């Protein structure tokens, strides 16, 4: 069989509808038995040897010509072929094509300018096709050198109930899939500790040292880190980070004896880490208010690791999430995203980006590696 | 026993020499039985209850006063106490103190300005002390908010044959130790593949597609990634990254048919990733020239992963290193260092920072987590 380019689609007649669309999910039906294939679909049929030519071109020539016309064609072809190889049927995300949504905003034609693209493909559940009405993933394809705005991921993740997947093609043409979703509901913890009474502290450089802190502040509330050790013969006190100290000073639990202890600590925080301190404190306090305990994520290169339900430090479970606090206008280099998500996966935690200005709402953007 | 501050050291008389220095490695001897302790050592003896006071101050008061005078005192105390708790004896790195080196450059007094510090402590081998003449580690202490220049790490790692260790105190006062060393000798691989003949390719966007490449280019040389799959009925070609393509064009193995194929590829590389491309290519080509095979490290958030000896892609061993290419004047945020090193450790690879300008030499700075 041979196809002909019409605009940016390839038309195939004969028994194409039965052969390619009805039985194997390629293209969209036109009148009669004719169908229209996207360039990527046509290239895949050429690649499989199921189509002989498009306007007389074989796979190689058609692939090269298409890549020259559409910069991301090669990337999209790799992802299309990979998902097909994994047993999925998928369609290009174009208005009027199978799986496309009603709203003209939600799925721009894939070959419009790169930035306008929400997603490139709709992928059907395994075993299902374009006529079954269900969508498993919406997939966007990027090269590893293309930066992605956090706001783009949030918009895409919240656009629809089907999963949003970012497929990154690295410089050697290998693929990584990231599942991006909003994770607000994940932070509903079961830690019910409330500090009783007040505790005195001394602000020292970039931490606060408390003397004579009640034991449960650490042992049940998991605030701070005791300054002790096997050699200690004196009570070395409880060391609090500045975010912990600010959170405890906010309701008067921690007392430094200054005019405004909370403001004193926040100012010190800003001195040592700038406005980032306000954003981190906001995330810290929000998590605490939801019964989730954040502790430093430094060893994992993150801002926090979190525990959903702390009863006692002696019986601490595995921490569930790693959190990195970012501005809402943050732009990810795909390589950095890969680093964070890979590390989190390796330690069996879920990576969440807490996107916030110092005084806005927090979007909890969860990103995980997906093996479709 | 009680001590008295003299300048920045604490003097203790009586039987202090036998009690603290000879038997347990604290301080340095003065005349007779008197010894001089650094503030950190004195604080540790107060903490242990072995010293009663310094100028009438107990542990708490002395600790707070010392931290107010020396911003990093608290951090150094934590590291000192931790290493003592792990069974090491250590001395402050000060001229004229035990373990100090002859050169006045190599160990500035710890309480001089922060930037002039090369290291804070000399740590003796476990079971040894200041009078045994051997040094296991030189340790520098920083807070997690203090950025560290790559050049500082290179200078410290190459200053002496003893190991250089960076001890990072995070915001919650937990410690992470990083061992930094120069790793040039690690890259002496056993891959002896030489391409035979030439191969034709087409430059497409940010990769090169080769048709009819000899099988051994991929299978023995581990160049590129075949465009194939279980569905393929046609030869889809071999996809090369731009660094691979440039390296193969340099000696004429890859032929695009332009006036200067190498320059054409390098220019495309610069278009898509700026001058970073030149630095990455330099590292790639250097590794290849040493018989080491670099492949993309994208999945690990690095520039390359490396294989010391590739005989056949079908029988590929575990890759040994992750490499991130940085400028020699790069400054690490300790949190980023933690992220890279933790990830590498989790996948049983060693993290190496290849520090290079496009046309200078390459310093191979290896950083690993250390559990002393």
Active site residues of B: 307, 318, 349
Report A:70-129 residues touching B (Cβ under 8 A): 71-72, 74, 78, 81-82, 84-85
As given in the structure block, the two tokens for residue A229 are 């050790």
Q: With an 8 Å Cβ cutoff, are B46 and A234 in contact?
A: yes
Q: How many angstroms away from the CA of A103 is the closest CA of chain B?
A: 32
Cβ proximity of B95 and B111 under 8 Å = no
In this structure, are strands B350-355 and B304-307 parallel, antiparallel, or unpaired?
Answer: unpaired
Among A368, A365, A322, residue whose Cα is nearest residue A178: A368
- Give the count of Cβ contacts less than 8 A between chain A and B: 197
| B339 at interface of A, judged by CB pairs closer than 8 A | yes
Spatial CA neighbour of A351 closest among A299, A289, A305, A283:
A305
* Residue B170 Cα distances to A283, B141, B145, angstroms: 18, 11, 8
Q: Tally Cβ neighbours within 10 Å of residue A108.
A: 18
Place of tokens 């050699």: A231
A282: phi > 0 → left, psi -120 to 50 → alpha, else beta; which? alpha
Place of tokens 């058609």: A62
User: In angstroms, what CA-CA distances link B257 with A66, A97, B226?
Assistant: 20, 40, 22
- Whose CA is closest to B44, among A228, A204, A209? A228
Using CA atoms, how far residue B266 sits from A173, B21, B242, in Å, is 18, 62, 8
Each of the 372 residues of chain A gets a pLDDT tens digit; together they read 999 999 989 999 999 999 999 999 999 999 999 999 999 999 999 999 999 999 999 999 999 999 998 889 999 999 999 999 999 999 999 988 998 764 344 444 444 444 445 799 999 999 999 999 899 999 999 999 999 999 999 999 988 888 999 999 999 999 999 999 998 778 999 999 999 889 999 999 999 999 889 999 999 999 999 987 666 667 778 999 999 999 999 999 999 999 999 999 999 999 999 999 999 999 999 999 999 999 999 999 999 999 999 999 998 989 999 999 999 999 999 999 999 999 999 999 999 999 999 887 899 999 999 999
Residues in A touching B347 (Cβ below 8 Å): 346
* Measured distance CA(A89)–CA(A262) in Å, rounded: 57
Transcribe B83-103 into DSSP letters.
HHHTT--EEE--TTSTT--S-
Nearest CB to A336; choose among B74, B84, B301: B301
pTM of the model: 0.93
- What is the tens place of the pLDDT at every residue in A112-157? 444 445 799 999 999 999 999 899 999 999 999 999 999 999 999 9
Q: For residue B185, count CB atoms less than 10 angstroms from its CB and return exposed for 0-12, middle for 13-18, buried for 19 or more.
A: exposed
Distance of CA A12 to the CA centre of its chain: 39
Token digits of residue B203: 């430059």
The ipTM, to two decimals, is: 0.92
Query: CB–CB of A225 and B143 under 8 A?
Result: no
Chain B closest-CA separation from residue A78 CA (Å): 8
User: What tokens appear for A165 in the block?
Assistant: 């997947």
Catalytic residues of A: 307, 318, 349
Strand partners, A99: none
pLDDT tens-digit profile, chain B (372 residues): 999 999 989 999 999 999 999 999 999 999 999 999 999 999 999 999 999 999 999 999 999 999 998 889 999 999 999 999 999 999 999 988 998 764 344 444 444 444 445 799 999 999 999 999 899 999 999 999 999 999 999 999 988 888 999 999 999 999 999 999 998 778 999 999 999 889 999 999 999 999 889 999 999 999 999 987 666 667 779 999 999 999 999 999 999 999 999 999 999 999 999 999 999 999 999 999 999 999 999 999 999 999 999 999 998 989 999 999 999 999 999 999 999 999 999 999 999 999 999 887 899 999 999 998
CB contact under 8 A, A204 and B176: no
Residue B348's region, left for phi above 0, alpha for psi from -120 to 50, else beta, is left
DSSP per-residue codes, B195-251: --S-EEEEEETTEEEESS--HHHHHTT--SEE---TT--S---EEEEHHHHHHHHHT
Q: B60–A237: do the CB atoms touch at under 8 Å?
A: yes
Strand partners, A5: A10
Q: Do B244 and A173 touch (CB under 8 A)?
A: no
């Amino acid at each position: 069989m041979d196809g002909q380019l019409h605009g940016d689609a390839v038309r195939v007649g004969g028994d194409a509808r039965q052969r390619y669309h009805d039985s194997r999910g390629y293209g969209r039906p036109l009148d009669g038995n004719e169908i229209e294939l996207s360039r990527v679909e046509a290239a895949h049929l050429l690649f499989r040897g199921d189509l002989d030519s498009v306007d007389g071109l074989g796979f190689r020539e058609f692939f090269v010509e298409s890549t020259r016309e559409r910069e991301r064609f090669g990337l999209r072809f790799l992802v299309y072929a990979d998902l097909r190889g994994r047993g999925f049927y998928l369609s290009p995300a174009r208005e009027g094509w199978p799986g496309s949504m009603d709203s003209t905003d939600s799925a721009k034609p894939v070959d419009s300018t790169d930035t306008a693209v929400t997603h490139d493909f709709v992928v059907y559940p395994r075993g299902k096709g374009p006529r079954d009405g269900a969508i498993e993933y919406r997939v966007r394809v990027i090269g590893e050198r293309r930066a992605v705005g956090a706001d783009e991921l949030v918009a895409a993740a919240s656009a629809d109930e089907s999963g949003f997947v970012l497929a990154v093609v690295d410089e050697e043409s290998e693929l990584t899939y990231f599942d991006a979703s909003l994770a607000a509901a994940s932070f509903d913890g079961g830690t019910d500790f409330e500090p009783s009474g007040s505790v005195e502290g001394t602000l020292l450089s970039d931490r606060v040292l408390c003397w004579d802190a009640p034991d449960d502040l650490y042992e049940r509330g998991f605030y701070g880190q005791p300054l002790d050790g096997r050699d200690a013969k004196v009570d070395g006190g409880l060391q609090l980070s500045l975010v912990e100290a600010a959170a405890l000073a906010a309701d008067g639990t921690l007392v430094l004896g200054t005019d405004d202890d909370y403001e004193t600590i926040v100012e010190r925080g800003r001195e040592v880490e700038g406005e980032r301190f306000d954003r981190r404190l906001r995330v810290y306090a929000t998590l605490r208010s939801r019964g989730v305990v954040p502790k430093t994520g430094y060893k994992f290169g993150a801002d926090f690791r979190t525990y959903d339900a702390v009863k006692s430090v002696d019986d601490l479970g595995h921490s569930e999430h790693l959190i990195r606090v970012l501005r809402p206008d943050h732009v990810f280099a795909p390589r950095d995203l890969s680093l964070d998500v890979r590390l989190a996966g390796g330690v069996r935690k879920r990576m969440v980006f807490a996107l916030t200005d110092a005084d806005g709402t927090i979007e909890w953007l969860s990103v995980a590696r997906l093996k479709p």
